[in-house]
Amino acid sequence: MKIMHMLGVLVLVAALALLALGGVGYNGQRGLLDAIAAQVISSDALRNHMQADMMHDALRGDVTAALLADSTKDDKAVSAARSALGEHAGEFRESLAANRKLPLAPALRADLDAVTPALQAYIASADQVVKAAETHADSAAAYADFNDKFGQLETRMGAISERILALNEASRRQAEQYSHRVMWQQGSAVVLAFVCLALAAGWILRSVFGLLGGDRNWPWRPRNTSPKAAWTNRSRSPQSTAAA
């Protein structure tokens, strides 16, 4: 085999090694990005649900504030409770709506859709209590209904919270495991490419030295290049014999 052909083989091996490294790296990065995206989605869902849970408790605080203001005939405080109730109810709806827009699991999405009627009933019940406080009417029945709606919604919100927490934990573990797997794959690909290049380079060097009449065991057994050996080899050459 000619030297140029051997060099071509070496270049081909190097190109294949680079392509293999690039393929492993691309596939690993793509999978890692997918795992990170799933982690981001689950984190967004958890954040939105925590915000909704805070608004769930905030509505109860607004109702309690309205009843307390009604007991002291403080109309300004009742108006402030009404304003806070509208703000917190809007944030409550927005948080749950934001979760419904996320690409979540079908079971979790079904739970979010199912909790919407309970949310509307809870907000309407809170509104009835505040209306009673605004008109200084008897609010005992409305408040009892509100507490019942609060307990029902709290149970459903707790179940959704557990699902989202489990999803977030699973996404986190998946991202960590995939990250470790990608590191091992890339490291193994680098080692394999280095070994292939080293074997190809060693084979080419031995072949080239064989074609040039050198020692095939180079570089493991150095040749004798002393002046005496060089003179002896020269004296034994065909040109020296012909001259004699």
Residue tagged 């070994």 (tokens) = 195
The lowest-confidence range among 21-35, 39-53, 202-216 is 202-216
Domain boundaries, position 66: 3-204
Q: Is residue 213 part of a domain?
A: no
Q: Is residue 243 part of a domain?
A: no
Q: Is residue 224 part of a domain?
A: no
- CA distances from residue 57 to 53, 69, 130 in whole angstroms, order as listed: 7, 19, 15
How many domains would you assign to the chain? 1
| pTM more than 0.75 | no
Q: Is residue 216 part of a domain?
A: no
Q: How far apart are CA 31 and CA 26, in angstroms?
A: 9
Q: How far out from the chain centre does Cα 152 lie?
A: 35
pLDDT category at 94 given cuts 50, 70, 90 is: very high
- CA distances from residue 9 to 15, 65, 99, 217 in whole angstroms, order as listed: 10, 83, 57, 21
Mean pLDDT over 22-50 rounds to: 82
Q: How far apart are CA 80 and CA 42, in angstroms?
A: 35
Q: Is residue 129 part of a domain?
A: yes
- CA distances from residue 216 to 78, 150, 220, 225 in whole angstroms, order as listed: 99, 88, 9, 16
Q: Is residue 48 part of a domain?
A: yes
pLDDT category at 213 given cuts 50, 70, 90 is: low
| CATH number for the domain harbouring residue 128 | 1.20.1420
At residue 205, does pLDDT exceed 60? yes
Mean pLDDT over 126-143 rounds to: 89
Q: Is residue 173 part of a domain?
A: yes
